[in-house]
Structure 1
Amino acid sequence: MKRIHLIAVAVCVLAGAGAGFAYQELRAPPSSAVVQTGDYSAYLPEDGRKVVFYSLSTCQFCNLTRALLEENAVAYDERKLDADEAFLEQAHALNARSVPLLLVGGHKIEGYDEARILAVLEQERFLER
């Protein structure tokens, strides 16, 4: 009986460790974002001095992106894909495969990678440094 109890405890501990590892994997941002250059002027605001940010309300990486833009005082136009069909159609036209999706001047950034996002923002002169 004692042996069964020890085995049950070991299984629970291992299951908990596995669940904790899986949770960390889900929470960890991807190691890189896809950055492409092109003419995205048709999707940018008229003045061109805002970042266009396509997001989903349930996307944790979108929340990180929003916080990064706000921390760096970057003006942005957020387009929530789950709130407006027109924004979803725009994302499809851009061949978007993931969110967050950022249009920064002549760059399209898909996914979250803080260093890459900041580098593009700096290159396009959206950061005050």
Structure 2
Amino acid sequence: MYTVMDMIHRAGWLILVILFLVAYINLAKGNQKPYFILHQIARLFYIVMIVTGVYMLFGLGFPVAYIIKAVLALWLIYIMEAMLGRTKRGVMTDSMKKYYWLQFVIALIVVVLIGFGVIL
């Protein structure tokens, strides 16, 4: 069962990042309907990622490296949701965009590297 959850988790992260990027691009172009649908699907994947991640943490016995990954993954989910929400509301300034995109890229890279065992 752990292997199945691991596969769902890895594929889910890929799909989630693609959904986020496509939703953000649609929002930036002013396409509200595709943005709304993609954002709702992304929210569903947030839940899938959290559930599969918690299952795998229990299966592994809570190693410190994966606890750090879990915290960073939750931060990454927050960043994605905040970027979409603040852009939608029109409160995202140019300096905030740079700040959030930098956080997104760094958190994504670290989460992927920890997940594949490259670091920690």
**Who wins on radius of gyration, i.e. which is larger?**
1
TM-score, normalised with respect to structure 2: 0.27
Higher helix share: 2
Greater fraction of residues in strand: 1
**Could you tell me the TM-score, scaled by structure 1's length?**
0.26
